[in-house]
Amino acid sequence: MGFRFELIAGDAHSRARAGLIHTSHGLVPTPAFIPVGTQATVKALTPRDLREVGASIVLANTYHLYLRPSPEVIVRLGGLHHFMGWDGPLLTDSGGFQLFSLTGLREVDADGVTFRSHLDGSTHRLTPEKVIAVQEQLGADIIMCLDECPEPMDRAYNEEALARTHAWAARCRQAQTRGDQALFGIVQGGIFPDLRRASAEYIAGLDFPGYGIGGLSVGEPKEKMHEMLEVTVDCLPADRPRHLLGVGSPQDLFECVTRGVDMFDCVLPTRIARNGAVLTPTGRLNLRNAGYTDDPAPIVEGCACYTCQNFSRAYLRHLIKAGEIVGLHLTTLHNLHFTLDLMRRMREAILAGTFSKLRGEFLAGHEATEELGG
Amino acid sequence: MGFRFELIAGDAHSRARAGLIHTSHGLVPTPAFIPVGTQATVKALTPRDLREVGASIVLANTYHLYLRPSPEVIVRLGGLHHFMGWDGPLLTDSGGFQLFSLTGLREVDADGVTFRSHLDGSTHRLTPEKVIAVQEQLGADIIMCLDECPEPMDRAYNEEALARTHAWAARCRQAQTRGDQALFGIVQGGIFPDLRRASAEYIAGLDFPGYGIGGLSVGEPKEKMHEMLEVTVDCLPADRPRHLLGVGSPQDLFECVTRGVDMFDCVLPTRIARNGAVLTPTGRLNLRNAGYTDDPAPIVEGCACYTCQNFSRAYLRHLIKAGEIVGLHLTTLHNLHFTLDLMRRMREAILAGTFSKLRGEFLAGHEATEELGG
């Protein structure tokens, strides 16, 4: 009952593909969007809400849980699944992204990263071995190698960081002791095609059961992201799932599924929801706008989510303006339902041979919005 | 299909009684606890959550909704039931309590109250007629007369305020135009038995379908509250429901049901939940305490609520310490479930003739806590 990726169908006109990930906690149909549960909870949603909106897998952040409540507490409470009340598949990231984005003071050396907690300023050190040990304590079904996520345009820094990311990937592979967790290697390389290619080849050579693609969607132009994705995917084995870290707008999901990505995680749908921005087929609405003050329509007419079935834009706007928690809950519920439904429709279209049609129709009717986090 | 109070059974050893309120939006078994949905939502719970924890009726605050989003918006959205997605019985208070507790600058005269909004400082005026008009726009099943809630110990002020409260009650009765809403008169009188008696007699003389009891549990000693309650209830007709405003701790609910109260509303269970304080048969726990860091037990062993069925004290503590919205949701869900379940058990015991036994057992095992709002 371990990890297995089953490739089911490929699209005739693109690299898009439909698959099924088997884990000991259940199945993940791909392409899949993974809601982010940073601190062992997806913000504003319970596990039953996640089931209701169609989540098959949830991500939690190793960096955050390492600092609070600590892996030891989670072990004593029976592991992360039991701790957070989610009995489906779980993925933990390595903490690499947070180490390089959240912590003010950090020092990187060949062996690991020394950093100060963003919570209380206390000093900590994470090495590849430690990151694997922590993720083994947490017990997610899919875990990630420690990687370094550098500024994408800086060539010299990217070369240096990539050497560390590669050495750390090999050490993570070595450090793994549990046989029931799938360890993914992570490809980096900034916006440099040769570095991306070298990274994908090196990481693929370590024979991981799946591959993460990091360091994209961090400020580079869209065309660069697409180019890097194409270069990378070409060098990865077809029989392993590919996880693109940190991407989650409807347009990006289409563009990246088209380029052969199987899994995504991103705070975007949940974060913008908490700012009052909601997803619709034609683009984003910001419910804070005065225009919705007495709008009796749901966010999306015909949407099957609890929010759209029961509440008007006017009521949601009222809740958000009044600072009510239920407002955050209802917009988050809708945005995740919308995103997960989009993934289901993509998968069905790939299986039915109509992915290009779906993609064309969706993107033609959808107004692109800069992903500024709402 | 209008309002009707059906008195079903009385306890042989106390004034406790079981009844059934009929409204055009459904039934309210009494004694009843009414969750407070200040701004047209019970904080951190959706309407389906309220159904799940057993709420039969919800209260919303006229003062808050008058200021935001405004009665006009709610009318355009089809009335308060439709606006907030709650199709069960609804009660709105008169705004009196908020006028005298929230607003910094206010002027009371014989005709009404001029005040500044706590939101933006804008000036407004509410009269008895206006308060009825607003509540008719909102459209709750039970509405309340405008009353003045004075400092309970000040005799001279209480006499003066009581005269206004009585005159306003008569004007509210006159001002009512809708036949499908039950207007409750409110008894005041501070901690003065003669004023309470005079008030109950005067208000009862206006022949309302139900009676509110205000100005208690606002700082006076418990014995005074009980005495005032006894004096008041004695002067109210037995065939009408009695609603005690602002009381909601488990001990107080028992003490006041014993004294013949049928309905309660209070922010206590939901407010303390948001501070991490949860209700148990033996008293309150504060989940912020370090002692719960790795406590695998639910809040209450055997409790049927979603929170206790799925999550440990350790996990709830983690959510609260981490500032996660889901923590507020789960503690609120438990506290309301606990409170509403207590009311159900009281009602069953009254019907079974075992109320005194239930009361004795509960209070013996329950550690009284000062209601400081957690």
Question: What is the rounded average pLDDT for all residues in chain A?
Answer: 95
A311 contacts in B (CB within 8 Å)?
85
**Chain B contact for A47, CB < 8 A?**
yes
User: What is the structure's pLDDT at A374?
Assistant: 34
Confirm or reject contact between B48 and chain A (CB < 8 A). yes
Contact call for B318 and A45, based on CB within 8 A = no
Over 60: is that where the pLDDT of B371 sits?
no
Distance CA B217, CA B170 (A): 25
Cα–Cα–Cα angle for A210, A212, A218, nearest 5°? 170
% of chain A residues with pLDDT over 90: 92
* CB-based contact B326 A78, cutoff 8 Å: no
> Is A310 an interface residue toward B (CB < 8 Å)?
yes
Question: Among A163, A174, A87, A70, which residue's Cα sits nearest to residue A132?
Answer: A174
Per-residue pLDDT, averaged over A38-43, amounts to 98
Contact A77 B324 (CB under 8 A): no
Average pLDDT over residues B195-212: 98
Query: First-to-last CA distance in chain B?
Result: 41
10 Å Cβ neighbour count for A122?
9
- SS3 (DSSP) at B28: strand
Please report the pLDDT score of residue A208 as a whole number.
Answer: 98
Inform me whether the C-beta atom of residue A13 falls under 8 Å from chain B C-beta atoms: no
Given pLDDT bands bounded at 50, 70 and 90, which one contains residue B238?
Answer: very high
Span B252-262, average pLDDT: 98
ipTM value: 0.96
B52 Cβ contact partners less than 8 Å away, ≥ 6 residues apart: B306, B333
| DSSP states along A99-135 | HHHT-SSEEEETTEEEEE-TTT--EEEE-HHHHHHHH
Q: What is the pLDDT of residue B374?
A: 34
Say if strands B112-116 and B210-213 run parallel, antiparallel, or are unpaired: unpaired
Strand partners, B106: B115
Nearest to residue B220, comparing CAs of B154, B128, B298, B302?
B154
Task: Tell me how far apart the alpha carbons of residues B108 and A57 are, in angstroms, rounded to a whole number.
Answer: 59
Question: Among this protein's residues, is A265 annotated catalytic?
Answer: yes
pLDDT at residue B188, rounded to an integer: 97
B4-10 and A106-109: which strand pairing? Answer: unpaired
pLDDT > 70 in chain A, percent: 98
Residues composing chain A: 374
In sign, the C-alpha dihedral spanning B304, B310, B314, B319 is negative
A35: exposed, middle or buried (Cβ count in 10 Å: 0-12, 13-18, 19+): buried
Residues of B in Cβ contact (< 8 Å) with A329: 44, 46, 325, 329
Report the half-sphere exposure of B267 (CA within 13 A, side-chain side): 14
pLDDT digits (tens, 9 = 90+) for B21-64: 999 999 999 999 999 999 999 999 999 999 999 999 999 999 99
* pLDDT of res. A342: 98
* Pairing between β-strand B32-35 and β-strand B58-60 as defined by DSSP bridges: unpaired
Lowest-confidence pick of A162-176, A227-241, B88-102, B333-347: B88-102
Exposure b/e, B7-45, CB count within 10 A at least 16 = b: eeebbeeebbbbbbbbbebeebbbbbbbbbbbbbbbbbb
The mean pLDDT value for A306-317 works out to 98
CB–CB contact B314 A73 (8 Å): yes
Instruction: Determine which one of A49, A93, A252, A262 is catalytic.
Output: A93
Q: Which residue has 């065309």 as its token pair?
A: A223
Task: Grade residue B205 by pLDDT with cuts at 50, 70 and 90.
Answer: very high
Average pLDDT over residues A85-102: 91
Query: Which pLDDT does position B106 carry in this prediction?
Result: 86
Give strand pairing partners of B26. Answer: B23
- Please report, as a single letter, which amino acid is at residue B53: V
State the pLDDT confidence band at A373, using cuts at 50, 70 and 90.
very low
Confidence of residue B147 (pLDDT cuts 50, 70, 90): very high
d(CA A128, CA B5): 69
Residue A297 CA to its chain's centroid (Å): 31
Considering just the CA atoms, what is the radius of gyration of chain A in Å? 20
Residue B103 — pLDDT band, cuts 50, 70, 90? low
Mean pLDDT of A286-313: 98
Number of neighbouring beta carbons within 10 Å of residue A9: 15
Residues of A in contact with B317 (CB under 8 A): 69
B1: pLDDT strictly greater than 70: no
Buried b (16+ CB within 10 A) or exposed e, A262-286: bbbbbbbbbbbbbbbbbbbbeebbb
β-strands A17-23, A26-30 pairing:
antiparallel
Neighbours of B159 (CB within 10 A): 15
Compare CB distances from A69 to B85, B296, B318 and report the shortest one's residue.
Answer: B318
- The pLDDT, as a whole number, for residue A19 is 98
Res B218 pLDDT > 60: yes
- Which residue among B45, B83, B325 sits closest to A315, beta carbon to beta carbon? B83
- pTM attached to this predicted model: 0.97
C-alpha–C-alpha distance, residues B66 and B84, integer Å: 15
Partner residue opposite A73 with nearest CB, options B40, B69, B294: B294
Which secondary-structure segment (H or E) carries B113?
Answer: strand B112-116
Cα separation, B216 vs B49, whole angstroms: 30
Mean of per-residue pLDDT scores for chain B = 95
- End-to-end, the C-alpha distance of chain A in Å comes to 41
